[in-house]
Structure formats: C-alpha cells, structure tokens
C-alpha cells in the first residue's frame, strides 16, 4: 500500500508560466520534502505558537 502524503502548505515555489499552464500551485512534477509531525506543526493561534515553541525547545533543543 502506498503511503498517504499530506501537504503542510509550508512553502511553494513556482514560476508564473507554470502556474498559468497547470492552474495549480503544485505544478506538474513537484519536489516533495518529507517532514515529521513536529516539523509540520501549524501556527494559527497564540496557543499554536506556544506549542511550536515548546516543540522547538524540547524536541530540537532550540
């Protein structure tokens, strides 16, 4: 069974020509960077930021 990938919407880089041609921000042949759930934490609120800060300190020693 193939793994399921979920995009983090963390970073996109695409030319205007490719966006116009494929009408999609991902493009025809995207590069996929696999990240774990701690690297992919989404920050939308102050509480999310506190969680990300905690992860950075405890897991990554930042």
Predicted confidence (pLDDT) per residue in 30-55, tens digit: 888 888 888 888 899 999 999 999 99
Q: How far apart are CA 51 and CA 36, in angstroms?
A: 15
Q: Are 43 and 52 in contact (CB under 8 A)?
A: yes
Mean pLDDT over residues 12-30, rounded? 87
Question: Quick one: pLDDT band at residue 16, thresholds 50, 70, 90?
Answer: very high
Instruction: Write down the pTM of the prediction.
Output: 0.57
∠ Cα 36 39 40 (to 5°): 85
Question: Quick one: pLDDT band at residue 21, thresholds 50, 70, 90?
Answer: very high
């Amino acid at each position: 069974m193939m793994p399921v990938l979920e995009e983090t919407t963390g970073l996109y880089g695409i030319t205007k020509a490719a966006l116009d041609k494929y009408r999609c921000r991902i493009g025809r042949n995207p590069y996929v960077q696999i990240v774990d759930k701690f690297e992919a934490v989404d920050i939308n609120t102050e509480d999310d930021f506190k969680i990300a800060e905690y992860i950075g300190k405890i897991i990554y020693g930042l």
